[in-house]
Amino acid sequence: MRRSLLIACVLLLASTMAEAQVKYRAKGAGTTTIRYSAPTYEGSLVANGEEWSMGVGRPTTMGTESALVWSEGVVFPGQYTLAARRDGDQDWSLVVREDTGQGNRNNRDRRAGGAGGAPRRGGNAGGGQNNRRGGGPGQSFPMTQALLESKRKHVARMVIDLRADKDKALAKEGGGLLRVRFGPHELSTRPKVLPITTKKGTLGEPYIIEFIGYPTDERLEELFAGEGKELTIGRLTLPKTMADGGQGGRGGRGGRARPARATLVLVPGETPELRLRGSVSRTLPGTREGDRGAAKRLRGAVGKKALTLRAGKTELTFPIKPGSFSKEPEDDGGGERR
């Protein structure tokens, strides 16, 4: 009897969910893959302030080889979990968290409210450790909610898709469209999906720098000329230095060790500055030269003595030396601490 009941529950769960994935590759960029378990729609969404893991039985995950860029921040290549947080009646955010692998273990054999984990107001929303208020650190990006008036556009099972933006001009510059459709509801957000160029070397210690291939447009040319707003242009990783100050090995309390990382932010001004923000924190002052030959995208290069950036006809040079990328450089090392 107990075995028959167990089989019946498994069949019920299987009938209300489906494994799915979506892959997208913008021109010149790497592949982004989203995997999820699609629940069936049961008539409501989560309450304000709560999260929905956009799936059932396990987290919705995203692996990307590209940079996903919003005005609010950048998601660099890596493995992530995705959730949707309801901030108000019509206000939503896409929550992106680094996938440490802990989520799958914590989520094993857990069910959300209702058959198939479909969202219920005031209850859980589709399986996963993120169906609650909060959910640990992560990045949040605004989503637009729409109610699909045509019943022909309604979907019984949740569908996630990532594609080029419908606006051809935006798509040409890497514009993407990420949509979540569930019953009569649609949530969407528009990141730029841009290529990454990776540079590896040793400057006192091994480093990896990932440069974002922004297309050279008016905004980027203004920034390289010393005007406009600051822009995140890349990420530094020190694979042999841990974020908590250790060297190699595993992280504390059985967690996965995380390498020291910092974002590279280009700051405009008469003297250009490259600021490292994160586990490494300092400012590298640079110089500017024009008429260097047109570059259609932002290009970065790292040598033993300088890091260079090019966009359009302008080249920025930032002197570096051993210690410039280290967490604890020598007193006269590369760059001012800030």
pLDDT tens-digit profile, the chain (338 residues) = 555 544 444 444 444 458 999 999 998 999 999 999 998 898 888 899 999 999 888 899 999 999 999 999 999 999 999 999 999 988 999 999 998 775 444 443 333 333 334 444 433 333 333 344 445 679 999 999 999 888 888 999 999 999 999 999 999 999 999 999 999 999 999 999 999 999 999 998 999 999 999 999 999 999 999 999 999 999 999 998 887 655 554 444 445 668 999 999 999 999 999 999 999 999 999 999 988 778 999 999 999 999 999 999 999 999 999 999 988 754 544 555 55
148/70 same-domain check: yes
| Cβ 130 vs Cβ 51: under 8 Å | yes
User: Where among 194, 224, 256 does a domain terminate?
Assistant: 194
In a domain, 56, yes or no: yes
- Tell me whether residue 245 is exposed, middle or buried, using C-beta atoms within 10 angstroms of its C-beta: 0 to 12, 13 to 18, 19 or more: exposed
1 found inside a domain = no
Whether residue 333 lies inside any domain: the answer is no
Domain boundary pick from 168, 194, 220: 194
Q: What pTM was estimated for this model as a whole?
A: 0.83
327 in a structural domain: no
Q: Are residues 186 and 201 in the same domain?
A: no
| 31 and 174, same domain (yes or no) | yes
Burial class (CB in 10 A: 0-12, 13-18, 19+), 290: exposed
Pair (190, 45) in one structural domain = yes
Cα gap 289→13, rounded to integer Å = 63
Q: Which domain holds residue 253?
A: 196-319
Q: Are residues 201 and 153 in the same domain?
A: no
Q: Has residue 23 been placed in a domain?
A: yes
Three-class secondary structure of residue 286 per DSSP: coil
Are 139 and 200 in a shared domain? no
> With contact defined as beta carbons under 8 Å apart, do 124 and 113 qualify?
yes
How is 161-210 classified by DSSP, letter by letter?
EEEE-SSHHHHHTTBEEEEEEEETEEEEE--EEE-EEEEEEESSSEEEEE
Tell whether 211 and 288 lie within a shared domain.
yes
pLDDT for 90 equals 87
- Look at residue 152 in the predicted model and tell me its pLDDT: 87
Asked if residues 114 and 161 have their Cβ atoms less than 8 Å apart, the reply is: no
User: DSSP 3-state assignment of 306?
Assistant: strand
User: Would residue 330 count as lying in a domain?
Assistant: no
Name which of 112, 98, 10 is nearest 53 in CA terms.
112
Total structural domains within the chain: 2
**Both 149 and 104 in a single domain?**
yes
Same domain, 37 and 169: yes
Is the same domain home to 185 and 217?
no
What DSSP character marks residue 6?
H
Residue linked to tokens 């640079």: 286
Has residue 121 been placed in a domain? yes
Q: Where are the alpha helices (DSSP H) in the chain?
A: 2-15, 102-107, 168-172, 218-224
Backbone angles phi, psi at 142, to 5 degrees: -65, 140
Do 130 and 115 share a structural domain? yes
User: Are 24 and 117 members of one domain?
Assistant: yes
Is 208 within a domain? yes
Residues in the chain: 338
